Chains A and B, each alone.
Chain A
Amino acid sequence: DTGVSQDPRHKITKRGQNVTFRCDPISEHNRLYWYRQTLGQGPEFLTYFQNEAQLEKSRLLSDRFSAERPKGSFSTLEIQRTEQGDSAMYLCASSSTGVITDTQYFGPGTRLTVL
């Protein structure tokens, strides 16, 4: 069990560019979540997958954001036409339906800076 991994750890981009982040969940976990965290605040939910199905999306997930989880394994989060307000830490978490407590385990995050 190597934990949840995210890549890249840091991303600096210019306004208007597209960026893509990757999350690899704990291998036996079938649920995967994306959250966004700005400085001094708690994380805010963006979206959630069970296997390859995207089951819930927050209103925060504007049409510039898209998330995928092909084959129910890793997931990608793409932001198109980035804006300075997109600067934040993007956190991925995973959990298992086989465990009654459904504890979410978080990755180290990808810090995005939009110049």
Chain B
Amino acid sequence: KQEVTQIPAALSVPEGENLVLNCSFTDSAIYNLQWFRQDPGKGLTSLLLIQSSQREQTSGRLNASLDKSSGRSTLYIAASQPGDSATYLCAVTDTGRRALTFGSGTRLQVQP
């Protein structure tokens, strides 16, 4: 059974810092990996999707990498802003399935 772990569970940084969020998964037979953002009490917003054949994806100040063989992904946020404060969730789709398996998230607070 696929399990997804995110470290750290919570992170507080001053505005302007670069930061890295970590995600690990136990079964490397994945179809893709997605990073989502969730604001308190709201739904999820898709940030980046990496196909299993890809190594990284970039969108603006966000860069996500994937090392499928070691079961790891990182989300790099450059020059963090208070508006980046949210919970960031990592999720994988196993090969042959459509369901997403999520980690518990990293709660990020960026201090002005």
Contact = CB atoms under 8 A, between A and B. Distances in A.
Nearest to A3: B43
Contact of A103 (B34, B41, B103): B34
Contacts of B89: 42-43
B79 interface: no
Contacts of A100: 51
Given A42-B89, A106-B45, A108-B42, A101 B99 contact: no
Q: Is the interface of B mostly helix, strand, loop or mixed?
A: strand
Nearest to B97: A56
Interface residues of A, number: 29
Contacts of A107: 43
Interface of A: 4, 31, 33, 35, 40-45, 48, 50, 55-56, 58, 91, 93, 95, 100-109, 111
Given A56-B99, A93-B44, 18 more contacts: A4-B43, A41-B104, A42-B4, A42-B91, A42-B105, A43-B89, A43-B102, A48-B99, A50-B98, A56-B98, A91-B43, A91-B44, A100-B51, A101-B51, A103-B49, A104-B46, A105-B46, A106-B46
Interface of B: 4, 31-32, 34, 36, 41-46, 49, 51, 89, 91, 93, 97-105
